[in-house]
Amino acid sequence: MVCRQRPEFGESDRSRLTLKDVVKKGLLTLILFLGVVALFSFVADLRALAGSLDRYAAWTAAVALVLAAGNYGLRFLRWQLYLRVLGISRKPQGAADLSSSADVSLGYSLAVFLSGFAFSVTPGKIGEVAKGAFLYRTHGISLAVTAPVVIAERLTDFVGILMLCLAGVISTRYGLEVIVVAGGFLLGSVILLNFRPVAMTLLDWMAYVPLLRRAVAVMRKSYESMALLVRPDLLLVATVLSAGAWFLECWALHIVLTGFEATSSTVLKSTFIYAFSTIAGALTMLPGGLIFTEGSMILLLEKVFQLAPSRETAVAATLVIRCCTLWFAVAIGFVALAFLRRMMRAFAEKAGNLDTGPTPY
């Protein structure tokens, strides 16, 4: 890697613009969420909704926050696993080395990972690609290498959540079409990514398209990373971690429901409700899955499984669990982003003679 003068992340215009954009999107999504709260409050009886929240056992929200933190811990293990496979983290013998960079320390890796939660309010969480930009600015690791990590995270998240849905789908037949379509798309994607000749042929064809010709070289490099991350053995381990992580948030919904004295709640039913609602929200590509996640959850709680004794209880439980999961993660992300900016300034001062060039690709 060529060594020249590296610009300081903390002082760059592009960095300030990125943070400003994140804050703006976060505020807009928060406003949208408050609009969702107002909408569902309108369809419910406000006095009854306030009564449900007043009787709610607040300690269950604390337990839900702990379970959500466990979700983040398991997903961080998956993140570290991916970095090791690509040779970005501490390199085990035999790991691929696509990064051409120094090792990324555990503390810095954790800060980068958690900062990605600030981008949870972007459509499909695509803003989490910024994690790769952070690694580029300090370690010179190409986005063509790191962007597939974010894609692999979303892929295994989706597979893990689908697995959690299966038991409920089989027992109720509710949402079967959605699960079949989503599962078929994911299966086809995994097969394509593991079948190198087809992928290479598609890239060769794309090279003949003038508008795509320059991007093909980057896409080839990204494919090399992606192919490593979706190997069957690694895909299995990552999916198990993902399923375990999201089960903790499903369990958190069950705990929250017990706080509303929803005595008919079971872990199995709560798992299906949370997992299915998460998929419904993700498929819309709306920031944070807003509206569709909340709407699906309220419908399943009140009408389908009748776990909530009233609509007001269903609305209240949905708002509590979303605050304990989505908005808890966003808050952690912004705190981590602030710490990360300080770390990057310190890194730039220590290694100010290194430059990664004009583009992260």
233-238, long-range: CB within 8 Å, 24+ apart, which pairs?
234/81, 234/85, 235/156, 235/159, 235/190, 237/81, 238/78, 238/81, 238/82, 238/152, 238/156
Of residues 215 and 113, more confidence is placed in 113
Across 214-242, average pLDDT:
87
Of residues 125 and 354, more confidence is placed in 125
Q: Give the best-scoring range by mean pLDDT among 98-102, 107-111, 338-342.
A: 107-111
Half-sphere exposure of 238 (CA within 13 A, CB side): 28
Of residues 90 and 201, more confidence is placed in 201
Q: Is the pLDDT of residue 125 over 50?
A: yes
Residue with tokens 């009233």: 310
How many angstroms separate the CA atoms of 243 and 159, rounded? 8
pLDDT of residue 95: 44
Phi/psi at 123 (5° precision): -55, 125
| Nearest C-alpha neighbor of 32 from the set 166, 122, 139 | 122
pLDDT of residue 21: 61
Q: Rounded to 5 degrees, what angle do the CA atoms 34, 76, 85 make? A: 135
Q: Is the pLDDT of residue 5 over 70?
A: no
- DSSP 3-state of 287: strand
Q: Is the pLDDT of residue 88 over 50?
A: yes
pTM beyond 0.95: the answer is no
pLDDT of residue 30: 64
pLDDT of residue 196: 74
How sure is the predictor about 301, in pLDDT bands with cuts at 50, 70 and 90? very high
Q: Is the pLDDT of residue 361 over 60?
A: no
Provide the 8-state DSSP code for 211: H
